[in-house]
C-alpha cells in the first residue's frame, strides 16, 4: 500500500488506550492498524513507529496451558488468583504465584528424568477434542477492536522441555550425547503438534495476524547455552513451525527474555519476523547489524526521569532520525515504558509519520 503523506490533523487524539505498562494516545491514523501491521511485517512500507499498543494479545482458555500459566486473555473474565494454575496440555501441574502474577511448575516432581523416556511417559494432547467451535463463538466480541490480534503460545520449545524436566534436566538433555537423539525426536513431534495447533487457531480465529511465541533463552548477564547448541537442537524445529505460519499468511513474533544478543543469527535462521527483547541487550547495535533481516525492538537511550518535556521530544526526534527508516523498519518496545512518556510518544508518532511518508 502507498503510505499517505503526513497531515498534522492526524495528531488529533481519538481516544486513550491503557496497557500493563502505560497509557498511549490513539491518533487519527491514516489507515487501520491491521493495514499498518501488515505493511510493517512484510517489510514493505512502515506507516508509523509501532510501540506495542497496536496489538491485542489473545490467549483463549481452550488451551489448558493458558489457564495453567494464569494468562487467559479472551472474551470472558478470568481471575488468575482463583482460576490460574492446574494442569497444562501435557498434564504438568503449575501453581499460580500471586506475588509475581504468574505460574511456575510445582518443583521436585519432574514428569521426565531422562528424555529417552518421553515416548513411554508422555500423553500427547488431543487438540481435535477441544471445543474450538464453542470458543470461536463466545470469543466473537474479543475481536471487535481496532487493534491487530496476536495469538500467544506461552510454552515454546526449550520451555516445554523445562516444564517436563525442570531447568537443570532440560539443559542437561540438550547437551547430553545420550539424550540428544531423544530430544530431536521429541521436538520433531512437538513441532507437528504446534503446527496442528496453529492450523486450528488460523481456522477458528481468522482475525489473528501475528503469532507470539514464548521461549526464554537467557538471564540478565548471558544466554543459557551456546549459539552452536541452539542451532543444532532448536532452530530446525522453530523453522518448521514458522514456515507453516508463513504459509498461512501470518507472521511469527519471538518472545525471548535475557541477554541473548549472540542468538540473533539463530532467530533469523529459525524464520522469526520480529523480536523485541529486553533492554540489557545492545538493541541499537543489533539493529545496525541485523535490522535488514529481522524486525528488532530498539530501546530509546535517554534519561526520561530527569528530562524536560522538550528534552523528551528531542529524544524522540533523535530516535526517529536514527531508527525510523523505510528500508529497515524496527519497533519501539512497550517494555521501555519508563522512557515512553506522553511527550516522547507524541513526537515519535509525528516524526515517524514524516519519515515514512517522505
> Is 147 found in the same domain as 4?
no
User: Considering its fold, how many domains does the chain have in total?
Assistant: 2
| Of the residues 244, 269, 297, the one at which a domain ends | 297
How many whole angstroms separate alpha carbon 352 and alpha carbon 262?
29
Q: Within this chain, do residues 335 and 264 fall inside the same structural domain, yes or no?
A: no
Same domain? For 37 and 106 the reply is: no
User: Does one domain contain both 291 and 146?
Assistant: yes
Q: Taking the CB of residue 41, how many other CB atoms lie within 10 A of it?
A: 21
Q: Which structural domain, as residue segments, surrounds residue 3? A: 1-51+311-358
What are residue 17's phi and psi, to 5 degrees?
-115, 125
Answer yes or no: do 284 and 154 share one domain.
yes
Residues 335, 250: one domain?
A: no
How does pLDDT run along the chain (358 residues), one tens digit per residue?
A: 688 899 999 999 999 998 777 789 999 999 999 999 999 998 778 999 999 999 999 999 999 999 999 999 999 999 999 999 999 999 999 999 998 889 999 889 999 999 999 999 999 999 999 999 999 999 999 999 999 999 999 999 999 999 999 999 999 999 999 999 999 999 999 999 999 999 999 999 999 999 999 999 999 999 999 999 999 999 999 999 999 999 999 999 999 999 999 999 999 999 999 999 999 999 999 999 999 999 999 999 999 999 999 999 999 999 999 999 999 999 999 999 999 999 999 999 999 999 999 8
160 and 178 fall within a common domain: yes
The set of cell numbers assigned to 273 is 519476523
Same domain, yes or no, for 167 and 209?
yes
Judge if 198 and 278 occupy the same domain: yes
The answer to whether residues 137 and 285 belong to one domain is yes
For residue 216, what is the domain's CATH number? 3.20.20.210
Tell me the pTM.
Answer: 0.96
CB atoms within 10 A of CB 139: 19
pLDDT at 58: 98
Beta strand segments in the chain, E: 13-18, 23-27, 55-58, 86-87, 93-97, 102-105, 148-153, 208-214, 251-255, 274-275, 295-296
Same domain, 282 and 323: no
Structural domain contains residue 117:
yes
Looking at 297, 324, 339, which one is the last position of a domain?
Answer: 297
Round to whole Å and give the CA distance between 15 and 26: 5
Amino acid at each position: 500500500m502507498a503510505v499517505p503523506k503526513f497531515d498534522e490533523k492526524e495528531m488529533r487524539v481519538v481516544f486513550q488506550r491503557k496497557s500493563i505498562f502505560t497509557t498511549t494516545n490513539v491518533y487519527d491514523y491514516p489507515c487501520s492498524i491491521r493495514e499498518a501491521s501488515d505493511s510493517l511485517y512484510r517489510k514493505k512500507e512502515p506507516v508509523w513507529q509501532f510501540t506495542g499498543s497496536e496489538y491485542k494479545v489473545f490467549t483463549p482458555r481452550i488451551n489448558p496451558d493458558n489457564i495453567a500459566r494464569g494468562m487467559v486473555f479472551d472474551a470472558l473474565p478470568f481471575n488468575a488468583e482463583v482460576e490460574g494454575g492446574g494442569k497444562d496440555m501435557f498434564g504438568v501441574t503449575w501453581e499460580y504465584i500471586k506475588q509475581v502474577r504468574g505460574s511456575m511448575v510445582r518443583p521436585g516432581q519432574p514428569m521426565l528424568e531422562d528424555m529417552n523416556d518421553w515416548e513411554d511417559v508422555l500423553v500427547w494432547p488431543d487438540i481435535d477434542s477441544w471445543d474450538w467451535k464453542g470458543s470461536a463463538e463466545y470469543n466473537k466480541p474479543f475481536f471487535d477492536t481496532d487493534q491487530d490480534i496476536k495469538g500467544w503460545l506461552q510454552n515454546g520449545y526449550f520451555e516445554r522441555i523445562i516444564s517436563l524436566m525442570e531447568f537443570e534436566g532440560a539443559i542437561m538433555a540438550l547437551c547430553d550425547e545420550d539424550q540428544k537423539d531423544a530430544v530431536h525426536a521429541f521436538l520433531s513431534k512437538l513441532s507437528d503438534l504446534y503446527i496442528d495447533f496453529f492450523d486450528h487457531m488460523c481456522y477458528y480465529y481468522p482475525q489473528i495476524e501475528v503469532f507470539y511465541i514464548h521461549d526464554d533463552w537467557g538471564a540478565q548477564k548471558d544466554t543459557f547455552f551456546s549459539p552452536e547448541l541452539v542451532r543444532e537442537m532448536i532452530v530446525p524445529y522453530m523453522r518448521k513451525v514458522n514456515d507453516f505460519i508463513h504459509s498461512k499468511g501470518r507472521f511469527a513474533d519471538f518472545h525471548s527474555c535475557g541477554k541473548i544478543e549472540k542468538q540473533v543469527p539463530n532467530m533469523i535462521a529459525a524464520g522469526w519476523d520480529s523480536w523485541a527483547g529486553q533492554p540489557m541487550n545492545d538493541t541499537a547495535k543489533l539493529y545496525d547489524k541485523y535490522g535488514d533481516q529481522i524486525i528488532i525492538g530498539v530501546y530509546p537511550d535517554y534519561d526520561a526521569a530527569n528530562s524536560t518535556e522538550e528534552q523528551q521530544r528531542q529524544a524522540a526526534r533523535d530516535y526517529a532520525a536514527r531508527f525510523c527508516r523505510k528500508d529497515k523498519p524496527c519497533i519501539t518496545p512497550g517494555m521501555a515504558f519508563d522512557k515512553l512518556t506522553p511527550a516522547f510518544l507524541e513526537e515519535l508518532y509525528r516524526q515517524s509519520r514524516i519519515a515514512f511518508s517522505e
